[in-house]
């Protein structure tokens, strides 16, 4: 590979980062709560992705590839931190936030998402989790914007049915967090 070709590859990656940075940062913030950790996570993932940029044949899949790298990196960090914990004689007094409802909501959401088709799940995740526009979602999934809208409409109706079919306890848990 000539130096010129390598430079062109780098510029394409730089253009990608410049265009997608805000979206990628939002993804990093969903993976780690602290903004500085999210910035570190994104920078580490960008470095790792840059090293393999030539291997990503379809650059439209770069966001998915980078998100996977961020998830793997976060998991590595979590495992490394877990190994660094040392037992102590005294347990420090701290207040612990009760996150039971949050976990119940997450479990319910993951469970009802299984009722959707793969295409419906993809549309819901891109539109609501990644906050992509209808047009961006259509481009990412290779479908018409109208198809994204109708698929989203059917998916949300199916999710409502699933939550309601779980009974009042499931609905109150899901509604209580609004």
Please, which residues have CB within 8 angstroms of residue 149's CB and are 6 or more apart in sequence? 134
Q: Contacts from 65-70 at CB under 8 Å and sequence distance 24+?
A: 66/24, 66/27, 67/27, 69/45, 70/27, 70/28, 70/31, 70/41, 70/42, 70/45
- Looking at the structure, give the CATH architecture of the domain made up of residues 3-84: Orthogonal Bundle (1.10)
Q: How confident is the model at residue 20 (pLDDT cuts 50, 70, 90)?
A: very high
In tens, the pLDDT along 96-142 reads 565 566 656 667 777 788 888 989 988 888 888 888 889 988 888 88
Rounded to whole angstroms, how far apart are CA atoms 112 and 104? 12
Stretch(es) of the chain classified as CATH 1.10.1740.10: 3-84
Stretch(es) of the chain classified as CATH 1.10.10.10: 100-175
Please state the pTM of the whole predicted model. Answer: 0.44
Domain covering 100-175 in this structure, CATH number: 1.10.10.10
User: Does residue 148 have a pLDDT over 80?
Assistant: yes
Closest CA to 65 of 50, 49, 41: 49
CB–CB of 104/175 below 8 Å? Answer: no
Residues written for the chain:
178
């Amino acid at each position: 590979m000539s130096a010129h070709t390598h430079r062109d590859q780098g510029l394409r990656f730089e253009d990608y980062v410049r265009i997608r940075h805000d979206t990628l940062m939002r993804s990093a913030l969903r993976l780690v709560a602290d903004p500085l950790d999210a910035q570190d996570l994104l920078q580490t993932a960008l470095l790792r992705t840059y090293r393999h940029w030539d291997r990503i044949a379809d650059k439209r899949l770069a966001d998915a590839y980078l998100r996977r790298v961020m998830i793997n990196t976060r998991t590595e960090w979590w495992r490394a931190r877990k190994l660094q914990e040392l037992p102590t004689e005294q347990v420090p007094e701290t207040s612990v936030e009760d996150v039971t409802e949050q976990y119940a909501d997450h479990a319910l959401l993951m469970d009802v998402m299984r009722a959707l088709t793969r295409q419906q799940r993809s549309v819901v995740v891109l539109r609501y989790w990644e906050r992509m526009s209808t047009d961006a979602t259509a481009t990412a999934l290779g479908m018409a914007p109208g198809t994204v809208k109708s698929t989203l409409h059917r998916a949300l109706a199916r999710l409502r049915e699933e939550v309601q079919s779980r009974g009042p306890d499931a609905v109150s848990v899901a509604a209580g967090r609004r």
